[in-house]
A and B are shown apart, each in its own frame.
Chain A
Amino acid sequence: QITLKESGPTLVRPTQTLTLTCTFSASSLNINEVDAGWIRQPPGKALEWLALIYWDGNERYSPSLKTRLTITKDTSKNQVVLSMTNMDTVDTATYYCVHKRRKLGAFDIWGQGTMVTVSS
């Protein structure tokens, strides 16, 4: 059973860079065998897919945010990291780390989410 846990700052200032870490936990888990990503949800609003990193290291990004996002993985720590530059108040949201089922675009495991507020 895979579990995901997000960590990172709860408050960032406008123009700063946000860095979120997702730690995968499971016995015998090799993060090189999973597809993982990030989805966010502004308060009271819908879900928005942000980025994916595939088992082979390929990355995909939301076109509207592509210039601001970087997704990486640290295989030694079983972690996936999302960086988002030039944060703005509209980026205030709960950020979820997700596991995507291989060969299927279904997000079958979610972290609990981490609320990030952008404010000066």
Chain B
Amino acid sequence: DIQMTQSPSSLSASVGDRVTITCQASQDIGNYLNWYQQKPGKAPQLLIYGTSNLEAGVPSRFSGSGSVTDFTFTISTLQPEDIATYYCQQYHTLPYTFGQGTKLEIK
């Protein structure tokens, strides 16, 4: 299985900050990477697919980049409603695998 490692596991930031989360794959996954947001008690929501494509209806402050094994998820200007846990997921090879999650809190 392809292992996905997110960093950091938790993050505290202030409203208006730029926030960056990284995701590293244990092998080359090209650009076959998605990002999800999960708010407490809710199902995850797809934010970005194919590394950098914003899902319809998702605010433009969210973005993604990277390739091969190293990927980055960025919130350009943190908003209070962005408090959530974020997961990366590879779909290069079955079984699909997720990172362990990054819990984002407001400072």
Chain A positions within 8 Å of B, measured between CB atoms, are 46-49, 60-64, 96, 101, 104-108, 110-113
Contacts and interface: CB of A to CB of B under 8 A. Distances in A.
Interface size class of B (residues with CB under 8 A): 20 to 34
Contact of B94 (A46, A60, A108): A60
Contacts of B1: 63
Interface string B1-35: 10000000000000000000000000000001010
Contact of B55 (A63, A96, A105, A108): A108
Interface in B32-56: 32, 34, 36, 43-46, 49-50, 55
Interface of B: 1, 32, 34, 36, 43-46, 49-50, 55, 87, 89-92, 94-101
Given A63-B1, A104-B50, A106-B49, A46 B98 contact: yes
Contact of B49 (A47, A48, A101): A101
Q: Which 9 A-B pairs have the closest CB atoms?
A: A105-B91, A110-B43, A106-B49, A49-B96, A47-B98, A46-B100, A62-B95, A108-B46, A106-B34
A49 B97 contact: yes
A112 B91 contact: no
A107 B88 CA distance: 12
A104 B49 contact: yes
Contacts of B90: 105
A64 B97 CA distance: 12
